[in-house]
Chains A and B, each alone.
Chain A
């Protein structure tokens, strides 16, 4: 037995509030030529067309949309949301006779207010994959610092969304790199970068481009990619990889996806004899990571592999030899 609409006096009252809301709505969404007014819950007004899942619509649903909250504003993205009227938001779908639609989420201020900044946007990969191609060394250092700071903060979130918001209000001195922007395929970036790189290598300094290499791990079902230029030390690279592949190592420990396994235990696993980090260099040889200076390493690393310690036994001596031959 469906409870009364809107929990107020009865149909009359509900009806009145309906009309008010409808006219308010019209003032906020002025009818343009060709803009058919649609029911906000996605139902067509005409009975013939559209999804059978939702049969008759009711104006009640319209009124329940918090119109104030969707008022057109020209604020910058991320600016304070309009105040929400918690009562108006609730569509008690259960109260309606028709097939229930999902109610709009009960208003939680957390969605749009301060706490969004903690969780909003970016992704973990955002920082590890940040493209560092900037025009000056100072900028590179700054972004590297930013990158290393976040890398060490467990890579829980990136605040690129926030960075860009800042950038709109203050024209940026340094160009913050955003994952996947501009939307140019990576092979296209790489090819032009290779042109630049071949010129730069003559001078002895690496070009300021992103350097994505694949990282595989024995037993892991899929590969990951990292941008070597977003790190400046082996330690950073190592921590990043530990986090990236922690899920596989934990799985192999036998604990079912337990996130509570401490990082130190994980580090032990990786630094102990269990796994070692190796890389394939330009000549196609597999070497242990860490034997050569960082710059030399990123100049010659083609891809990375996390191997079982037992598989990597033969590598160390050759690595030493090779670096001696280079120097």
Chain B
């Protein structure tokens, strides 16, 4: 069969397959297809940097132009993963520099990136174009300066919610005057002030600039100067959006916004002075994405804005919008696909803000295209959840956080099992689910039964027994990422479903009832898994085997155990001297 089918044709056909899942499937068909895929696959995605290692990657894929790596588990975003756990990109950069001098794109998520790594990136790849760092840490503005100074062909520098040691804003001035290829710059997470004139000149000489997200220090009065230089912007993030009201500033700003005919996305809006919000009125109807999650202004102001955004597809906002604002959204934003409502005061028990389940139900009723929800609120009911599930059968992502752990249905005081059960039953395309509130093992039975497309599940303060975990692990065929905290799940369900763990990317369990002994057993019996016990207690060596560990992180790997773990992380059950590396 293979002899009559020229490889060039196969390669050409495969070049139309861009999704990683498709490529992975293709490579399993037969040896020829495997070989063809590996020679021509140049975009690589590694969902867990410890599942594989650079040497394996390089051996398999000789020509890589773009790589995406993810490091720490998701719960690291909420301080559940201690500092020093791992996720270092430097060893990768060293090998990539040697093997792929024509690498163009690096995308990293939740990794530790040092200035050294950035300097190596800057010096090693002379056609480097795209650097996206999401939720990364470990580097300073010196590293950014190295990138700015050396990457002559840089197109994208995107720092999404990174923790940067901000020594000064001087890094921006390192972009040489000859540098004109910038298309996207996101510096919103930086704290220091950059030289405004350097910024202005950079914008002025970047005719392809489409995305510009400023940091908080760029004052409102200077925005019109910048926007005048870049009317072609598609995605703009303001700096601090506050100033004393002055009519000349206002009209100037309104004017430049009106001139941005391609503007589709707005964000920023720190410290909003409401009087300046209406400058964006003229562009509201163009917007498909609006992020007001730093706009600490009251519902009427927010409502006025969203009521004009008739083409909005994505809205991120604080709970200041309240139910009334969301009702307006349901009436005005008929194209809405994604809604995110963050809490303004997550740690206060009672707040004045009138945001309840009613807002979410309203949006679900009015916005038939809604497929992704992240909602923080303080009360929820089964009937509301059932309604939402019926209104939005096409939900792919449903994340609900009721602020008080184990909060029951506030009307009936029952668990929210039936509500979430209804979600998984009616929303057959659901791939991501995060639950909260009072939940028993029953909800997991529903999930195991109905959530056949579920890819990622987050559970907290839920369940009664191992049965809950067992339902999920045995029922959710497509589950790849499971993260659990503070649930009474223990050894039984984990060990009984051990083989499932090899078909998942990772499992995180913290403050549960998984014992040391079980972790050791699992680690010993499953060579394809790394079972990492993360335990910072002082007397951890004298804790008996049957006692629960603080945290365990289990992931499949072909790379064997890792050797960069700190002392509070133990890879269980592996002989320290055994090397599982397939080299």
Q: How far is the CA of A224 from the CA of B270 in the complex (A)?
A: 29
Residues A185 and B77 in contact, CB atoms below 8 Å apart: yes
Contact of B346 among A40, A157, A182 (CB under 8 A): A182
Within 8 A of A (CB), among B164-208: 189
Residues A185 and B78 in contact, CB atoms below 8 Å apart: yes
Residues A224 and B83 in contact, CB atoms below 8 Å apart: yes
Residue ID in chain A nearest B525 by CB atoms: A102
- Report if A184 contacts B (CB, 8 A): yes
Residues A32 and B445 in contact, CB atoms below 8 Å apart: yes
Chain A residues with CB under 8 A of B470: 40, 70
Q: How far is the CA of A32 from the CA of B488 in the complex (A)?
A: 24
Chain B residues with CB under 8 A of A81: 465
Residues B296 and A135 in contact, CB atoms below 8 Å apart: no
Chain A residues with CB under 8 A of B405: 164, 167, 178, 181
Contact of B496 among A53, A104, A115, A164 (CB under 8 A): A104
Chain A residues with CB under 8 A of B445: 32, 35
Within 8 A of A (CB), among B20-75: 75
Residues B83 and A112 in contact, CB atoms below 8 Å apart: no
Residue ID in chain A nearest B462 by CB atoms: A77
Q: How far is the CA of A182 from the CA of B473 in the complex (A)?
A: 25
Q: How far is the CB of A259 from chain B (nearest CB, A)?
A: 7
- Report if B419 contacts A (CB, 8 A): no
Chain B residues with CB under 8 A of A246: 538
Chain A residues with CB under 8 A of B433: none
Chain B residues with CB under 8 A of A116: 513, 547-548
Residues B499 and A54 in contact, CB atoms below 8 Å apart: yes
- Report if A2 contacts B (CB, 8 A): no
Chain B residues with CB under 8 A of A181: 78, 405, 460
Segment of B303-311, B331-339, B385-393, B515-523 engaged in the interface with chain A: B515-523
Chain B residues with CB under 8 A of A185: 77-78, 135, 161
- Report if A98 contacts B (CB, 8 A): no
- Report if A137 contacts B (CB, 8 A): no
Residues B449 and A179 in contact, CB atoms below 8 Å apart: no
Chain A residues with CB under 8 A of B546: 105, 108, 110-111
A/B interface sample: 21 pairs, CB < 8 A: A34-B449, A34-B450, A35-B448, A42-B496, A50-B499, A71-B467, A72-B464, A76-B464, A102-B525, A108-B546, A123-B535, A157-B537, A164-B461, A177-B347, A178-B405, A182-B343, A183-B78, A185-B77, A192-B294, A224-B84, A259-B541
Q: Which 6 A-B pairs have the closest CB atoms?
A: A222-B84, A180-B78, A121-B511, A133-B347, A42-B499, A119-B547
Interface residues of A (CB under 8 A from B): 32-35, 38, 40-43, 50-51, 53-54, 65, 69-78, 81, 101-102, 104-105, 108, 110-112, 115-116, 118-125, 129, 131, 133-135, 154-157, 160-161, 164, 167-168, 172, 175, 177-189, 191-192, 195, 209, 221-225, 243, 246-247, 257, 259
